[in-house]
Amino acid sequence: MKPCSLYVHIPFCKSKCAYCDFFSVVCKNNIDDAYIQKLLDEAEKRAVQFDVSAWNTVYFGGGTPSLLTAAQIKALISGLKAVRPIAENAEITFECNPDDITIELLHALSENGVNRLSVGLQSMQNEPLAIVNRRAGRAENLRAIELISKYWLDSPENDRADVSLADSAHTKHRFSVDLICGLPGETCESFFDGLDEVIHCGADHVSLYSLTLEEDTPLYNAVDSGRVELPEIEETDSWWIKARDILEENGFEQYEVSNFAKKGCQSRHNMTYWKMQPYIGIGAGATGTAGSLRYTNSRSIKDWLNGSGEEQEVLTPDIQKFEFLMMGFRTLEGADISEFERRFNEKIDVIEPVFSKWCKKGLAKRTKNLLALNKEGLLLLNCFLKEIMDFFEKE
C-alpha cells in the first residue's frame, strides 16, 4: 500500500463564469447529501482499486466547494478520514468563491482540518468581473480578504508554538489567490492596482493566469461575435511579464508557468500533477491517474451517481514519457533526469536534439540531474512542447 493524493470535485455553481469550460452545473439550491455519500463510496472504491494507504494531500475543487454547508464539510472530511487516514501535516486545500466566505465557513474549514484556501478573486475591479459574469465584485473580494485576514490568517492555528519553522507552511493556515490577466474591461492601470492589493492581502501563493478563450464558452462566443472586446494580446502579454517581475520583487517565487509562492508555500497537491505522481479523483467529471491507467468519470451527475459512464485509457510508454516531460517542463525546476531513467529504463537523452537547440538559444538550462526551461523559455513553453511532441512522433 502507498500514500496518494486525492482530488474531490464539487461540480456545482450558483452561476457559470463566461470563460469557464470546467465541468460544473448551475445549482440554485443546496447540494444534495446524496452527492456527498457517493463521493465517500467512490473514495473507498478507488482506495481499494489503487491500494492506497493514506491521503498525502487533499484538494476540494470545482465548481464551487464553498457552496457546501458546514455539516456537509464535516461529513465529507470525516468520511474521507474513515476511508483512509489523512497523512500528518497533509496539505488540505479548499477552493472558495469570495462571496461565499463567512466567519462560519472559515471556522467550519479550520475545525475539519482544512489548512489552505484557494480563492478565485480573478480581478479586483467591478467592470471585468461583471463582463465575465463573476458573482463577486470588488466589494465582495475586499470583504473576503478582510475576513480571511481576521479569522483565518490570524487564527489560533497560525499562532501555535508547537509548529516548527520547517513544517509551518504545511500545517498553519495558508491562503492562495487566483488572478486572470487580460480580462475584458481591464486596463493596464486597473490590473496593476489590483495586483498591488493582492500582493499585500496576506496571500502566500498567487496563480497568475493569462486569459484563455475556450471554444463554446459564453465569452468565446461574445468575443467571436464582436459583442465583447478584449485588450490587445501583445499588451496583456507585457502585463503578465511585468506582473511576474513585480511578484518576484515582493517575495513570490515563480515555480511553475502560472504559479508563484513565498518560500515553502508551493502547492504540494499541484506538484503531484507536475511530477506525474499517482492521484485519485472522485466526483462527477473527475480524473485519476496511476501508472499506465487513467480514468475519467462521467460528466453526467446522474450517470455518475448511478455508477456508469466511466472512461478508461491505457497510457502507452511514449504517452507516459511525453507527459512526464510536459508536466516537468512546466516547472522552473524542470524534468528530473534520474526519475525519468528510473521510470522508463531509458536515457533522457532521447530529447537531446530538441533540448540542446533551446539551450543554445539561451532558453533552457542543464544541471547535474535536471533539464529545465528558464524564465524566458517558460514564456514559450507551448512551442517547446510542440517540438518535443513532433520529435516523439518522428521517433
**Backbone conformation region of residue 277, classed left if phi is above 0, alpha if psi is from -120 to 50, else beta:** beta
Please tell me the predicted confidence (pLDDT) of residue 348.
86
Percent of the chain scoring above 90 in pLDDT? 88
Q: Is 60 helix (H, G, I), strand (E, B) or coil?
A: strand
pLDDT of residue 159 exceeding 90: no
pLDDT of residue 168 exceeding 60: no
Q: What is the mean pLDDT of residues 248-252?
A: 98
Please tell me the predicted confidence (pLDDT) of residue 28.
80
Q: What is the mean pLDDT of residues 131-135?
A: 95
Cell numbers 496583456 correspond to 236
Retrieve residue 273's grid coordinates: 500533477
What is the C-alpha separation between 213 and 97, in angstroms, rounded? Answer: 21
For the stretch 300-322, pLDDT in tens is 999 999 999 999 999 999 899 99
Query: Does the domain at residues 2-273 carry the CATH identifier 3.40.640.10?
Result: no
Q: Show Cβ contacts of residue 158 under 8 Å, excluding neighbours closer than 6 positions.
A: 172, 173
pLDDT category of residue 171 using cuts at 50, 70 and 90: low
Please tell me the predicted confidence (pLDDT) of residue 172.
86
Please tell me the predicted confidence (pLDDT) of residue 395.
63
What is the C-alpha separation between 199 and 171, in angstroms, rounded? Answer: 22
Please tell me the predicted confidence (pLDDT) of residue 390.
84
Is 292:15 a contact under the CB 8 Å cutoff? Answer: no
pLDDT of residue 1 exceeding 90: no
Q: What is the mean pLDDT of residues 87-110?
A: 96
Is 341:325 a contact under the CB 8 Å cutoff? Answer: no
Q: Show Cβ contacts of residue 39 under 8 Å, excluding neighbours closer than 6 positions.
A: 8, 76, 79, 282, 283
Retrieve residue 68's grid coordinates: 457546501
For the stretch 266-294, pLDDT in tens is 999 999 999 999 999 999 999 999 989 99
pLDDT of residue 242 exceeding 70: yes
| Residue type (1 letter), 8 | V
Which segments of the chain belong to CATH 3.80.30.20?
2-273
Give the rounded distance of the alpha carbon of 41 from its chain centre. 24
Retrieve residue 375's grid coordinates: 524564465
Q: What is the mean pLDDT of residues 245-268?
A: 97
| Average pLDDT of the chain to the nearest whole number | 93
**CATH assignment, 318-395:** 1.10.10
Exposure class string for 182-205: b at 16+ Cβ within 10 A, else e: bbbbbeeebbeebbebbbebebbb
Q: Is 304 helix (H, G, I), strand (E, B) or coil?
A: helix
Question: Strand ranges (DSSP E) for 21-173?
Answer: 25-26, 52-62, 86-96, 116-122
H or E segment to which residue 279 belongs: strand 279-282
> What is the C-alpha R_g of the chain?
21
Which segments of the chain belong to CATH 1.10.10?
318-395
Peptide bond into 63 cis (omega under 30): yes
What is the C-alpha separation between 49 and 64, in angstroms, rounded? Answer: 28
Retrieve residue 193's grid coordinates: 492596482
Of 30-39, 100-109, 347-356, which gets the smallest average pLDDT? Answer: 347-356
